[in-house]
Amino acid sequence: MNFFENIKKNLQNFLRENTKITTGITILLIALAVFAFASGIFQKKKKQDIFIFPKQIPFSAVEDFFPPKEDSLTEDYYFSREQNATWSKDEFDRWFSVPSKENVESLGKSNEKIANEILGAAP
């Protein structure tokens, strides 16, 4: 406690004896506070940067589009074909195959196995 009391007494004595320095320091601190306040008031407000999308450039292909070189594509497959809501009899016969009973049963077993793995720990 004596240490802080000694510092306090020494500071009070310095301020009483050196009034010119004390007055100068006080005026300087007040001037700095006024300057900081005035610069804050008269400072121009910065505008927030607004993000502007760059101009959109329309797509222009350098080369024409070409179909991939695949052996699996047949000639009657068109990239821009119109799909019908229902198949014709010829399309049905060509593309649809009825699954065998064994395939349906094996699919059912594998689905049950997956469901049991998921629900196995459930209460």
Which residues contact residue 99 at a Cβ distance below 8 angstroms, ignoring those fewer than 6 apart?
107
CB 67 within 8 A of CB 79: yes
Quote the tokens at residue 13.
């004595």
Q: Express each pLDDT in 1-30 by its tens digit.
A: 688 899 999 988 888 888 898 899 999 999
- The domain total for the chain is 2
Residue 63 maps to a domain: no
Residue 74: predicted pLDDT: 62
Buried b (16+ CB within 10 A) or exposed e, 57-71: eeeeeeeeeeeeeee
Residue 84: predicted pLDDT: 75
C-alpha distances (whole Å) from 3 to each of 11, 14, 16, 35, 112 are 12, 17, 20, 36, 84
* Total Cβ atoms within 10 A of residue 118: 9
Residue 29: predicted pLDDT: 95
Residue 78: predicted pLDDT: 58
Residues of the chain predicted below pLDDT 70: 1, 67-68, 70-81, 123
Residue 67 maps to a domain: no
Residue 49 maps to a domain: no
Residue 21 maps to a domain: yes
Residue 104 maps to a domain: yes
Backbone angles phi, psi at 19, to 5 degrees: -70, -35
Cα separation, 26 vs 20, whole angstroms: 10
Q: How big is the chain, counted in residues?
A: 123
Q: Which domain holds residue 7?
A: 2-42
Residue 73: predicted pLDDT: 59
Residue 76 maps to a domain: no
Residue 122: predicted pLDDT: 74
Residue 76: predicted pLDDT: 61
Chain centroid to Cα 12, Å, comes to 59
- Considering the entire predicted model, what is its pTM? 0.33
Residue 59 maps to a domain: no
